[in-house]
Chain A
Amino acid sequence: MKTMTLPLVSLLLLGAGSTALAGTPINQSRDVDASVRIEISNVRGSVTVSGWDQNRVEITGTLGSGSKGLRVEGNGSRLEIEVEKPGSSGWFNWGSSSKMDDSTLDIRAPRGAELHIDTVSAEVTVSEIAGRLLDVNSISGKIRLDSAARELEIGSISGSVELKGNGERVQVDTISGDIEFSANRDRLKFETVSGNITVSTETYREFSASSVSGDINLRGKPVGDARIDTETMSGDIRIEAVGELSARIEAETFSGRIRSDFGKVQEPDHGPGRSIDATVGDGKARLSIDTFSGDISIRRD
């Protein structure tokens, strides 16, 4: 058996090696402004962008076989980097993208760059970028951002989204991808259909999250007149309030359960439903939670 397995493994390794060799190395660079807008698109493989203190964009990696080439166009204020697909079809075309192998883009860019990244199944990783906006869209690729960009706008269909890095605003929507956010931003907005949303932040002023069947978990301290709106159909909602909470709380579920360290759970004499309507402290912040069948938990941390 061993004598049969060894040649087979060697053949497989040889096959894998030849595929890797098929990739064409990339090595390009452009001088750009410190706040350059960079648009990057790659269908499959990976896109990795990291910031540095130089006004220059450097692109390395490998171009997968089957792709038409790497297009790098633009000037100092705007640069487009695209792994081109074979044929003249749109970049999302299934027929032509299935003919390409994975391309790997490793990009160094000025820290203040504004990034717009589009992928289909390619994973996206961004670090040390702190420009005005970081905008990433993917179909199934995993998105991992550790960025202090002022605003984050993320869209994914089924890929998961992991976010770190402080800033002002974040907005994420997915269909089935999970969302994990661990950073400090004032305004947070998350929407998903079946993904789970997990948020851990020190303080926040606006938190809006909705899901049909995914769970929502929020841990942090709402400041001042913060507004928290969360709703699910069947997903559970867990809110952990860090520090002294001062808020008007309105929570309601049609057939789920409610557990709360604040206020008293009300159940009507007739008909379904449970709710809480309570004011904690001076009630400046407003906490609104709705579910149809999901459980609600509001805890003091």
Chain B
Amino acid sequence: MTDFELRRQLRELRGPRQPERDLWPQIARRLSADFQPAAVTVRRRARWPLAIAAGLVMAVSVGLFSLSLHDRVGSVASEDATLPSELNARHQIQRARELAASGDPRLVSAEVVLDVASSELDHALAQQPDAIFLVGLINRTHAQRRKLARLGLDAS
């Protein structure tokens, strides 16, 4: 199978699919069976202990989580106010400064370009995980980074 055919088949998986047979009669039968009073009573009785246990577990979990969150609020309050994109930009500026200070100035701009590209590609892939071509672009960006690293070694 060629890449071209593989991509087409992956694309087709994403679309709406028609069931092979009419599912409604079976659904309707189950719904009407569920609404029979005797069956409902039996099932409700059978599930009460489970529901109470689950409620207790949830209440305890929420309480513990709230306590731990309360402890952490003070330390992370300033970070919460910062948007992820701002953090990203700040990180990139910091990285550029580090490179400019320590690396070969001829390679700094390329390093920054690769950093930004990698970060944006990761973000894009998170939004469109089935995009094989984005994986290809990430791999090529990594290859360029390796090439740059080799040049950096030669320069030192």
Contact across chains for A254 and B144 when beta carbons are under 8 A apart: no
Cβ of A282 within 8 Å of any chain B Cβ, yes or no, is: no
Given contacts A94-B105, A158-B109, A254-B127, contact A212 B137 (CB under 8 A): yes
Contact across chains for A93 and B154 when beta carbons are under 8 A apart: yes
Contact across chains for A120 and B106 when beta carbons are under 8 A apart: yes
Cβ of A49 within 8 Å of any chain B Cβ, yes or no, is: no
Contact across chains for A250 and B8 when beta carbons are under 8 A apart: yes
* Proximity string of chain B (13-26) to chain A, C-beta cutoff 8 Å, 1 when within and 0 when not: 01110000000000
Contact across chains for A212 and B11 when beta carbons are under 8 A apart: no
Cβ of B140 within 8 Å of any chain A Cβ, yes or no, is: yes
Cβ of A170 within 8 Å of any chain B Cβ, yes or no, is: no
Which chain B positions have C-beta within 8 A of A231? 133, 136-137
Contact across chains for B15 and A268 when beta carbons are under 8 A apart: yes
Query: Distance (Å) between the CB of B101 and the closest chain A CB?
Result: 14
Q: In the bound complex, what is the Cα–Cα distance between A121 and B106 (angstroms)?
A: 9
Query: Distance (Å) between the CB of A20 and the closest chain B CB?
Result: 24
Cβ of B41 within 8 Å of any chain A Cβ, yes or no, is: no
Cβ of B93 within 8 Å of any chain A Cβ, yes or no, is: no
Q: Interface on chain A toward B: helix, strand, loop, or mixed SS? A: loop
Contact across chains for A210 and B124 when beta carbons are under 8 A apart: no
Cβ of B68 within 8 Å of any chain A Cβ, yes or no, is: no
Taking a contact as CB atoms closer than 8 A, the residue among B120, B141, B156 that contacts A234 in the complex is B120
Cβ of A157 within 8 Å of any chain B Cβ, yes or no, is: yes
Interface stretch of the complex, out of B43-51, B84-92, B110-118: B110-118
Taking a contact as CB atoms closer than 8 A, the residue among B128, B147, B154 that contacts A292 in the complex is B128
Contact across chains for B113 and A175 when beta carbons are under 8 A apart: yes
Contact across chains for A213 and B128 when beta carbons are under 8 A apart: no
Contact across chains for B148 and A233 when beta carbons are under 8 A apart: no
Q: Which residue of A lies closest to B105 (CB)?
A: A94
Interface size band for A = 35 or more
* Proximity string of chain A (128-154) to chain B, C-beta cutoff 8 Å, 1 when within and 0 when not: 000000000001100000000000000
Contact across chains for B113 and A193 when beta carbons are under 8 A apart: yes
Q: Interface on chain B toward A: helix, strand, loop, or mixed SS? A: helix
Q: In the bound complex, what is the Cα–Cα distance between A39 and B151 (angstroms)?
A: 19
Q: In the bound complex, what is the Cα–Cα distance between A294 and B120 (angstroms)?
A: 13
Given contacts A90-B154, A191-B140, A254-B127, contact A175 B134 (CB under 8 A): no
Contact across chains for A210 and B137 when beta carbons are under 8 A apart: yes
Cβ of A176 within 8 Å of any chain B Cβ, yes or no, is: yes
Taking a contact as CB atoms closer than 8 A, the residue among A140, A176, A254, A293 that contacts B113 in the complex is A176
Q: In the bound complex, what is the Cα–Cα distance between A293 and B131 (angstroms)?
A: 12
Cβ of A127 within 8 Å of any chain B Cβ, yes or no, is: no
Docked complex: B137-156 residues within 8 A CB-CB of A? 137, 140-141, 144, 147-148, 151, 154-156
Which chain B positions have C-beta within 8 A of A293? 124
* Proximity string of chain A (115-129) to chain B, C-beta cutoff 8 Å, 1 when within and 0 when not: 000001100000000
Which chain A positions have C-beta within 8 A of B120? 212-213, 233-234
Extra A-B contacts (4), CB below 8 Å, given A193-B114, A193-B117, A254-B127: A176-B110, A194-B117, A212-B120, A254-B128
18 A–B pairs (Cβ distance < 8 Å), ordered by A: A90-B154, A90-B155, A92-B154, A175-B148, A191-B140, A193-B113, A193-B117, A193-B140, A210-B140, A212-B120, A212-B137, A233-B134, A233-B137, A252-B11, A254-B131, A269-B16, A290-B133, A292-B134
